[in-house]
Amino acid sequence: MLIHPTYKDKFDTKITLSIVVIFSFLFLTTTLVYSQDKKFIVVLDAGHGGNDPGNIGNGYREKTIALKVVKEIRNELQKINDIKVILTRDKDVLINLWKRGEIANKAKADLFVSIHCDSHSSNAYGAGTFVLGLHANKRNFDVAKRENAVISLEDNYRERYKGFDPNSEESVLGLTLLQEENLDKSFLLAADIQQNFSKALKRKNRGVKQAGFVVLHQTYMPSVLIELGFLTNKNEGKFLNSKSGQQKMAKEIARSIKKYYNQLKLNTVAVNDQISIENTKVDSSIRDEDKLDEEVVFKIQIASSKNKIQLKSYNFKGLKNVQRVKVGSYYKYYFGVTTIYNKVKNSLLKAKSKGYSDAYIAAFKKGKKVSLTEVLK
């Protein structure tokens, strides 16, 4: 993928330093929760494939290198029993961009990592990691545009991506909205990957950047896209095409994923058998005539789990003011606490739009769950 040279190394270096500082701070202050009842699922995505070779700088094939690196990462991660690895492709085939995201979503993955190689008309070199977001400059937009252009090779792509034009900045910018709640986590992983590349492998650090990649937009979990380096640079292309280079890059990526996973485990809280209600917020900005019963409170139950999850919006797909209720050995999570029935119906629609397809309205009177049917009589 040949790209017009507009890259600014000094700018990216400043961004990288800032991200590393933020990364260190957030890992100490942000509570990330991982369920010990299931394996930590990582979906690894080798870019391109089949009749889409990706870039072929110096005769090297991006699709081949990406797949080999992905398999090396899998080998490293499979050494940990609690991690399950899924590949979007394990051979030379083209997987549609929407399908790659669908694979991760159906697997209920905890992490999505897409592997690519960069190219440039200059002798540029170095590794960079992208998260979904607004383009800081034309270079970022060009990278996203080139990677997104593969959709034209897909069957019925005009219908599947109706209204999306990979050459339109407006179309690409619109992709960022649904991934906002995962952005902080994606940045954490991306920053650590870049740090490993630069410190352990002495690779040029091109920083953590944001751009509108379709493949990242399709996922519902923290996601990053890694450009391993430039195949158009003779030395870097040779390194990335070598088994040694592929193993070294894969090892550092796997190391960052393991660190991310271990951080989640450290913040898992043991459960107990006491019943408690936390972070209860009842909407008081209502009219008396809107209430069905002064003592009835409506809530949307969005989840039930044995795990005590921190009440942060990024843990609940952006939903705010979530309530946690401990009942026996399970925690139940509620959203949209209010005494107005019409308002809780709107909250139900919002929860479902965020992906909580099994969410439902629950009614409580004097702290006890009651039949919604009886309340509405």
Q: Is the pLDDT of residue 365 over 90?
A: no
- Alpha-carbon distance of 160 to 120, in angstroms, equals 30
Determine which of 6-20, 44-58, 78-92, 251-265 has the lowest per-residue pLDDT on average: 6-20
Per-residue pLDDT band at 19 (split at 50, 70, 90): very low
Closest residue by Cα to residue 223 from 264, 178, 267, 259: 178
Domain that holds residue 304: 277-375
DSSP string, 74-102: HHHHTTSTTEEEEES-SSS----HHHHHH
The CATH number for 369's domain is 3.30.70.1070
Per the DSSP assignment, residues forming a β-bridge with 360 are: 301
Please tell me which residue, 24 or 117, carries the higher pLDDT value: 117
- Alpha-carbon distance of 151 to 131, in angstroms, equals 19
Determine which of 144-158, 277-291, 354-368 has the lowest per-residue pLDDT on average: 277-291
Q: Given this model, what pLDDT does residue 313 score?
A: 79
Q: Are strands 223-230 and 277-278 parallel, antiparallel or unpaired?
A: unpaired
Which helix (H) or strand (E) element contains residue 301?
Answer: strand 296-305
Is there a single domain that holds both residue 117 and residue 223? yes
Residue 10 phi/psi, 5-degree rounding, is: -65, -40
Please tell me which residue, 272 or 357, carries the higher pLDDT value: 357
Is there a single domain that holds both residue 199 and residue 287? no
Is there a single domain that holds both residue 53 and residue 134? yes
Residues 6+ apart with CB under 8 A from 232: 2, 55, 57, 58, 118, 119, 120, 121, 123, 124
306-317: average pLDDT: 76
Please tell me which residue, 129 or 354, carries the higher pLDDT value: 129
If one counts the domains in the chain, the total is 2
Please tell me which residue, 199 or 332, carries the higher pLDDT value: 199
* 343-347, long-range: CB < 8 A, 24+ apart: 343/283, 343/286, 343/290, 343/298, 344/298, 344/299, 344/300, 347/300
Is there a single domain that holds both residue 209 and residue 311? no
Determine which of 145-149, 250-254, 362-366 has the lowest per-residue pLDDT on average: 145-149
Q: Is the pLDDT of residue 60 over 90?
A: yes
Please tell me which residue, 33 or 353, carries the higher pLDDT value: 353
Label residue 183 left, alpha or beta by phi (over 0 means left) and psi (-120 to 50 means alpha).
alpha
Please tell me which residue, 23 or 310, carries the higher pLDDT value: 310
Is there a single domain that holds both residue 126 and residue 210? yes
Determine which of 96-110, 144-158, 193-207, 246-260 has the lowest per-residue pLDDT on average: 144-158
Q: Given this model, what pLDDT does residue 293 score?
A: 58
Start-end of H helices in 94-182: 97-106, 138-148, 157-160, 169-173
Q: Which of 216, 232, 266 is the last residue of a domain?
A: 266
**% of residues, the chain, pLDDT over 70:** 66
Q: Is the pLDDT of residue 218 over 80?
A: no
Q: Which of 242, 266, 290 is the last residue of a domain?
A: 266
pLDDT in tens, 258-289: 999 987 775 432 223 233 334 434 334 434 34
Q: Is 3 a member of any domain? A: no
SS3 for 214?
helix
Q: Is 271 a member of any domain? A: no
Is there a single domain that holds both residue 349 and residue 231? no
Q: Which of 266, 292, 313 is the last residue of a domain?
A: 266
Q: Given this model, what pLDDT does residue 358 score?
A: 73
322-329: average pLDDT: 85
Q: Is the pLDDT of residue 175 over 80?
A: no
Residue 77 phi/psi, 5-degree rounding, is: -70, -30
Q: Is 34 a member of any domain? A: yes
Q: Is 1 a member of any domain? A: no
Q: Are strands 223-230 and 111-118 parallel, antiparallel or unpaired?
A: parallel
Is there a single domain that holds both residue 162 and residue 242? yes
Q: Given this model, what pLDDT does residue 24 score?
A: 40
Is there a single domain that holds both residue 110 and residue 179? yes
